Amino acid sequence: MDIDKSVRKRKDRKKSIEVNELGEKFLKEPPELASRELVDGTVTETNIEPSTLLTAGSAKSSQNSPKGFYLKFEIDIVFLLLLGLALWTRTYNLEEPHYIVFDELHYGRYVSLYTKGIFFFDAHPPLGKQLLYLAGQLGGYNGNFTFDRIGSPYTDSVPIRALRMIPAISGSLLVGITYQLMLEISTYQWTAILAALLVLFVGRQMWQRIGYTESTLRLALSIIWRSFVLVTLPLIVYIGVFYAHLAMLPKAGPHDSVMTSAFQASLQGGLASITKGQPLHVSHGSQITLRHSHGRTCWLHSHAHVYPVRYTDGRGSSHQQQVTCYSFKDVNNWWIVKRPEQASLAVTNPPDAIRHGDVVQLLHGITSRALNSHDVAAPVSPQSQEVSCYIDYNVSMPAQNLWRVEIVNRDNEEATWDSIRSLVRLIHVDSGSALRFSGRQLPSWGFHQHEVVADKVVTHQDTIWNVEEHRYTKAEDRRERERELVSAEMIPTAVTQLSFWAKFMELQYKMIAHAPDAPSGHMFASEPTEWPLLSRSIAYWLSPHSNAQIHLIGNIVTWYAGTLSVLLYSAFLAFYAIRQRRMCEDLPLQASHQFYNAGCILFLGYWLHYLPYFFVDRTLFLHHYLPAYMFKILLLAYVIDHLYLVLQLREKTRVFTNVLIIGITVWLSYVLLTFIKFSVLSYGNTDLNENDLMNLRWKDTWDFILHKRG
């Protein structure tokens, strides 16, 4: 028995030495001549770069062949078959249903706005919407259809097939891309085919190259080329898409209020037409509205109501006049700029322009009370100071109503405060705090308007304001001034010209900072914890005449297998890490590198696309999981590839290869059968009764829709 043990130990040690020698051989060979081998010496693949493909045979043949330039084409029949199958499944019965389905409501509106050249805002880059617009133009769409609600029937003026062809082609290309990607990652071609079928039915290399003995020039050129392809080219495309977006939308539209006043003033028929003829320089006696420049659109506002004597948490207030940020145009948004040493509010001739660093008072236009702050905690943000309009109660609380104007985008220290284009901070002289939009809403006593505070953190984006509407005060009498304000048009110089880069940067900021008012408590909303096990679906459309419907619901067989693959890869990762700590080499060096490369691309890709949603404060749906799901499918295919490789490595385990193949075949059959069974919910062309829907309800948490009888 001891002799047998020692023999087995020597065999294991010899096998380990063979594995290490194979790894050393791989490291010594340049990448263009490196061969991928198994432990038994079988060559499985030669990884040769096309640009450096030159063997002895090819060298001899090149000497005998005529001189000249040649183009060599290689056609992958499998790729073409997969692409054709994907196009067939995604374009089948594409015109049906002849109704608005889910997000076609929003994207159809965007196509109409593109057609009319009307500006709109969306939190996502515009390339997809531009492709839909192009399809609509090719289909003859005139942009006059009203996308009013999900389920509304389309008219003949809407080229449904042309518009739906864009996402159909994109989904088909995803199958082909999956196949090509897995060809690079996996060991076997059939694994790439498997990954593509699963999608159908439902930078590390650079650092490795530095270690090779290549010329510095060649490595530098490689880095430059990859930087161009992976960084510069996508950036050019991204910027170009936005350039086209802004060029196509010159007219003012319904989403203007999201953008800054300067951006609005650059649009045809928008704020530019409204502010035409108003004074440019803010002066002593100017009547202005102050707009919060970044984030939520609202205007500095006050009204005759006061803060409650005591808040619900027991804190006391100043009982002064409320100051808020109001999201609508209102007469109470008007303020008068006044120099502290002057009593008259009328504008002098020539006007006394306010400059950077000047100290001013802001009088509320209707109540004539001055904007004030003092050492009293704000109502909702007690870490900041309360902002109010000062009421003299004849108590020991003097007014602190002086504010220093700081122009953020000034050209010099003598810059004038201009309407529209000047971004300013108002610094409270007594406390050094900045006037800030806190982002919080006041309770019912504040009419649920937004809180305004004085904050010590003066550099925050929410401390930036700009003058939008502007006119000069002419009347001295208070009642006459009130009549001026009330009778004046509530529709806020010549057209403001903004450069493309200014508009581009503003759009990027707005896309990041904009928080849409998503519906809360949506019946098809879901949590990230529910996604890996497909606990929820989303109803996209229900026929008005029958129970035919479309649902976003994944192939549950693939879905659960993908979740299992994440756990299996984690187990493999832990197992190999422990074995390596014990100096045990279970994989050839090439296979080991491949395993960790797949981890960087697929395993980390899955978690990077999944985990952030646990920290998102908004209503979420199953479709938010789809990017992570794609990585999960690819990881599933790679785990199967790795299992097959592990079984092939040793003679004793090769007998289980057939068992694995049979298991995969049976599993793929279930994938296909599940796809066919649930295709009625993908195409929406089959009337379903109650029993049909119950048979499709494989999980109690799935909700399908059934018309009420009679």
Looking at the fold, whether 115 and 197 belong to one and the same domain comes out as: yes
Does 339 fall in a domain?
yes
Q: Tens digits of per-residue pLDDT, 63-89? A: 454 566 777 777 888 889 999 999 998
**Of 176, 202, 228, which closes a domain?**
202
Does 272 fall in a domain?
yes
Does 43 fall in a domain?
no
Looking at the fold, whether 486 and 558 belong to one and the same domain comes out as: no
Q: Show the domain range for 642.
A: 550-696
Angle at 605 between CA 599 and CA 606, to 5 degrees: 100
Please say whether the beta carbons of 270 and 256 come within 8 A: yes
Which pLDDT does position 39 carry in this prediction?
38
**Of all residues in the chain, what percent carry a pLDDT higher than 70?**
82
Is the peptide bond preceding residue 350 cis, with omega within 30 degrees of 0?
A: yes
Nearest residue to 268 via CA among 256, 280, 260: 256
Q: Which residues of 480-516 are buried (b: 16+ CB within 10 A; e: fewer)?
A: ebbebbeeeeeebbeebebeeeebbebbeebeeeeee
Residues in Cβ contact with 599 at an 8 Å cutoff, skipping those fewer than 6 apart: 569, 573
Looking at the fold, whether 182 and 281 belong to one and the same domain comes out as: no
Looking at the fold, whether 453 and 597 belong to one and the same domain comes out as: no
Residue 132 and residue 162: Cα distance in Å, rounded?
8
Looking at the fold, whether 291 and 333 belong to one and the same domain comes out as: yes
Does 265 fall in a domain?
yes
Looking at the fold, whether 444 and 300 belong to one and the same domain comes out as: yes
Which pLDDT does position 423 carry in this prediction?
93
pTM of the model: 0.67
**Of 178, 202, 226, which closes a domain?**
202
Looking at the fold, whether 109 and 93 belong to one and the same domain comes out as: yes
Nearest residue to 99 via CA among 684, 537, 704, 690: 684
DSSP string, 663-697: HHHHHHHHHHHHHHHHHHHHH--S---HHHHHHH-
Residue 78 and residue 175: Cα distance in Å, rounded?
12
Query: What's the farthest any 2 CA atoms get from each other in the chain?
Result: 114
Residue 500 and residue 332: Cα distance in Å, rounded?
35
Please say whether the beta carbons of 225 and 206 come within 8 A: no
Residue 516 and residue 255: Cα distance in Å, rounded?
12
- What's 476's domain CATH number? 2.80.10.50
Looking at the fold, whether 572 and 663 belong to one and the same domain comes out as: yes
Token pair 């300067």 in the structure block, residue: 262
Q: Tens digits of per-residue pLDDT, 394-446? A: 777 889 999 999 999 998 888 999 988 899 999 999 999 999 999 899 999 99
pLDDT at 30 over 80: no
Residue 40 and residue 591: Cα distance in Å, rounded?
14
Does 644 fall in a domain?
yes
Does 529 fall in a domain?
no
Does 18 fall in a domain?
no
Looking at the fold, whether 266 and 314 belong to one and the same domain comes out as: no
* Residue 165 pLDDT level (bands cut at 50, 70, 90): very high
Which pLDDT does position 276 carry in this prediction?
65
Looking at the fold, whether 281 and 363 belong to one and the same domain comes out as: yes
Which pLDDT does position 194 carry in this prediction?
77
Which pLDDT does position 440 carry in this prediction?
92
Does 530 fall in a domain?
no
* Residue 204 pLDDT level (bands cut at 50, 70, 90): very low
* Pairing between β-strand 321-326 and β-strand 385-389 as defined by DSSP bridges: antiparallel
Looking at the fold, whether 457 and 315 belong to one and the same domain comes out as: yes
Residue 373 and residue 392: Cα distance in Å, rounded?
13
Which pLDDT does position 497 carry in this prediction?
73
Looking at the fold, whether 396 and 434 belong to one and the same domain comes out as: yes
Domains: count for the chain: 4
Dihedrals phi, psi of 318, to nearest 5 degrees: -85, -15
Q: Tens digits of per-residue pLDDT, 36-54? A: 333 343 434 444 333 333 3
Please say whether the beta carbons of 251 and 269 come within 8 A: yes
